[in-house]
Amino acid sequence: MDTGKTARSALWSLVENVGLSVISMGTLIIYTHLLSMAEFGLFSIVLALIELLQVVVTMLFHDALVQRPEASDKHFDTAFSFSVALGFGLLLLCCLCSPLFARVVGNPGAALVLCSMALCLPAAAFSATIVARQRRELSFRPLAIRSLVGRFSGALGGVALVALGAGVWGLVAQQVLIQLVGSLILWKTCDERPRLRFARREFKELTSFGVYAVSALFLNFGVKRLFTVLTGLYLGVTFAGYLNLSFRAVDVFWAIASTAVTQVALPMLSGLQGDLPRLKRTFQASTGFVCAALYLLFVGVAVTAPEVVSVLFGAKWLPSAPYITVLALLVLVQAPRLMVGPLLTALGRPRDLLIGKGAELAFVVAAIFASRVPTLSWAVGIWVARELFALPVMSRLTKNATGLGTVDQFRGVVVPLLASAIMAAALLGLRSALPQSIPPLARLVVMAGTGGAVFVAVLALLDRALLNGVLKFVLSAVGRQRERLGVTPVDAGSPLSSGAK
């Protein structure tokens, strides 16, 4: 596999996720100032429902098409035809169930909102297989452009309508525009367009894999939403607000980093599924790279949480800072298993992911109903316990799939973990030494710069090969030539190289 192409794909995926996160956060801030709580609450409920259905429409065949060693035009056409039919079918179902939905939420206008928002489903279906083909080919540039243009167009339309007094309909228009514009861009710019035809054999081949993969994604997507809803019922809206802010503050960074890694990891690892020893070496090297990158970011956020909250959200939200610290520190167990999902999918074992996510969901629901979530600390504790519960489960599934023992799976964690511990100690000492009169933004800038320098210095001292691999990967991602800096191109030493040794 072309490692330069892999690196550039990771860069474009990162650009896409950074851009989407910035646009989402910006529009969220605007909408909270222009909309009533009732309008925003109704939109949030409908959006959560449509997003869950959209997972089925867009991802039912996605992993199956990316993972297959050979995927013919019949496979893509069959997936396209079924996805479009499914999108329109779910649109019709939403319209039929909309009166019942309106009665459940106690808002007569909710029926039309649900019907209108459901237009996203067929709109997304038209580009679902194109997305899968381009990710299979590591062609992330057009996907990033599609997402950013679609999201920006939707944001402009939505904000304009809300500013003109359209209320919740501005938000509905934004979501529909995002899907329509994104699908149109991909449809017009792609080299190979799917067509309407259906092959029974190819359908069976795709669904035998896709059902398990999309079920795991559905559980993974829904577990946090269910957790937030249930804990909110026990805690009340005020404490639920602190909990949601804590999740959002961490999720913005997690979406940027983790999605960029996993989107590139699946096609990369799928290309090595026929060479298990090489696949295992690549998995181990990639885990070290991921931990080095994510520990630096999230441990830094955890330690500087008070400054981050003051700068981004204001002093009134400072009670959420300890919870942001705890949730950010979960990266210590999340990062080492970030590559597990793409690994199991690449090996054709989506059922294992379904087992793992099902166990997590069962644990969360049981813990919530058993404890009845008396305080916000209990809620965060349950979420932390879920991650600790999931770690050995996913480790066991990885061992069953690859033969890698626990020590081999986590070998790449040791050096990044030590570097992040030293960085955290340095930042805590620096905070106590800085005068309290320094504004939060200035403190954050000083602490962020110092933390980054300490982390890189420790990494260079303990594992220069890992640091060089990360630097080579970054240089390859931005397409720099060796003559510019005297650095050789990414080779087998790159952590995300398919030839990792």
Q: Which residues of the chain have pLDDT under 50?
A: 1-2, 237, 476-501
Cα(first)–Cα(last) distance of the chain, in Å?
14
Distance CA(218)–CA(235), nearest Å, equals 26
Are 318 and 306 in contact, with CB atoms under 8 Å apart? yes
Tokens 């867009």 appear where?
58
Yes or no: say if 286 and 83 are a contact pair by the CB < 8 Å rule. Answer: no
Which of the 8 DSSP states describes residue 490? P
d(CA 170, CA 155): 9
The amino acid sitting at 389 is F
Handedness of CA 343, 336, 53, 189 (dihedral sign): negative
The residues, ordered by sequence, that sit 6+ positions from 90 with a Cβ below 8 Å of its Cβ are: 53, 56, 57, 118, 121
What local confidence, expressed as pLDDT, does residue 17 receive?
63
Q: What is the pLDDT of residue 237?
A: 46
Longest CA–CA span in the chain (Å) reads: 70
Contact 66, 183 (CB under 8 A): no
Residue 382 confidence (pLDDT): 93
- The predicted structure's pLDDT at residue 193: 80
Whole-number pLDDT of residue 18: 65
Q: Which residues contact 164 (CB under 8 A, 6 or more apart)?
A: 170
Helix 237-270 with 321-329: angle, nearest 10 deg: 20
Q: What is the pLDDT of residue 399?
A: 87
Q: What is the pLDDT of residues 393-444, one digit of tens each?
A: 888 888 888 888 888 888 888 899 999 999 999 999 999 999 988 998 999 9
Residue 430: name the closest of 264, 318, 304 by CA.
304
